[in-house]
Amino acid sequence: MASHRKWSPTGTRIAGIRTPALATAALTSVALLSQTANAAPSADPKPSIEEVEKKVDDLYHQAEAATEKYNATREKTAQQRKRVDSLLDDVARRTEKLNTAREELGSFAAAQYRTGASAPDTATLLLADNPQDYFDQTQLMDRLTSRQKVAVDDYITEQAATTKKRAEASQSLQTLTTTQSALKTSKADVQRKLAAARDLLSKLTAEEKARLAAIEKKKQEAADRKAAELAQQQAAAEKKAQEAAAQQQTTTGTSGSSTTDSSYTAKADKALAFARTQVGKPYVWGATGPGSYDCSGLTQAAWKAAGVDLPRTTWDQVNVGTTVPLADIKPGDLVFFYDDISHVGLYVGNGMMIHAPKPGAYVREESIFYGGESIIHSVVRPA
């Protein structure tokens, strides 16, 4: 038979009192906490300037992507608002027309009852969902003239159309409300990203800011060298094409085809002329000018000055026109960046572009390699 031992807590005794093991552990924890409190507090290691720079760049990139989402939603909201306003105006006009027609139908009923024994129930007619039912129920339909019957039929048709328009307006209002909520969310997302970037930069010391500026200068110098290389390559290719055209003319007596579309060049010159006058204006997310721009707002405005309407966002602009190899890039072409196509600039030649870079910066001319060749997504000729 198994023995049954009564459980008794183990531990030490203090002044005749048994101290459970749990209490002993608690006392030990208190002692350790006291030692920790007396020691120097531990903290996460401070990120390097390179890590801060990368984090800030990432946040600005995320903010640009969120800006394009905001731009798309705002454009959608504007379109939906126009539709709602149009539907509501249409419903108002139709309702007024129906009220007039309903009163006319009431006069028909009154006229028919003048020879009858009872008074016309005009109030019932005015509230009836279907005036034909009213006339049928009161046995008036057979007594109406042809013109009056046509009026009843027209009223019924118009009433059905008005009911349908009211339903469309109601649905459009619900859709607009949903889109406006999404717009608010997109706006808050941009603001959070920008606030996080500003917070990181605000914590830098003067020395760290100087080191960050040196890093940016080094990146810019590398980008400028890359732009110069592209310009040399293009110049060599252009010279070779001209020599080939001259050779063809000498051999066949016919001039070679031009490597440049004169119509496109004329439009591109207008777009570039506009863009150059915007240099120095601030980047403001969601802005389309004339005092400030975001990246796609600037390219849209520049090409509009040349008579070409581009969509609002980078995601739509990249699908307009013809995609060309980077080696064949020409002034006026749009250069898109990042896998998510969240940035765009207007190529001016010699490896340079005009673009609205990021919050806190201004519209400027800069190498298309400002972030390295790897971030260039594509080149599009929009016209």
CA distances from 127 to 106, 131, 158, 165, 301 (A): 11, 9, 16, 20, 54
Closest Cα partner for 290 from 71, 336, 300, 306? 300
Distance from C-alpha of 35 to C-alpha of 189, rounded to nearest angstrom: 44
Q: Please answer whether residues 24 and 11 qualify as being in contact, where contact means their C-beta atoms are separated by less than 8 angstroms.
A: yes
Distance from C-alpha of 367 to C-alpha of 170, rounded to nearest angstrom: 50
Question: What is the distance, to the nearest Å, from the Cα of residue 263 to the centroid of all Cα atoms in its chain?
Answer: 32
Q: One-letter amino acid identity for 5?
A: R
Distance from C-alpha of 172 to C-alpha of 83, rounded to nearest angstrom: 8
Question: Which residues, 6 or more positions from 380, have their beta carbon under 8 angstroms from its beta carbon?
Answer: 317, 318, 320, 321, 322, 323, 324, 333, 334, 336
Active site members: 295, 343, 355
280: alpha, beta or left? (left if phi > 0; alpha if psi -120 to 50): left
What are 283's two structure tokens?
């980047």
Q: Please answer whether residues 231 and 349 qualify as being in contact, where contact means their C-beta atoms are separated by less than 8 angstroms.
A: yes
Q: Please answer whether residues 313 and 71 qualify as being in contact, where contact means their C-beta atoms are separated by less than 8 angstroms.
A: yes
What are 333's two structure tokens?
């072409």
Distance from C-alpha of 67 to C-alpha of 293, rounded to nearest angstrom: 12
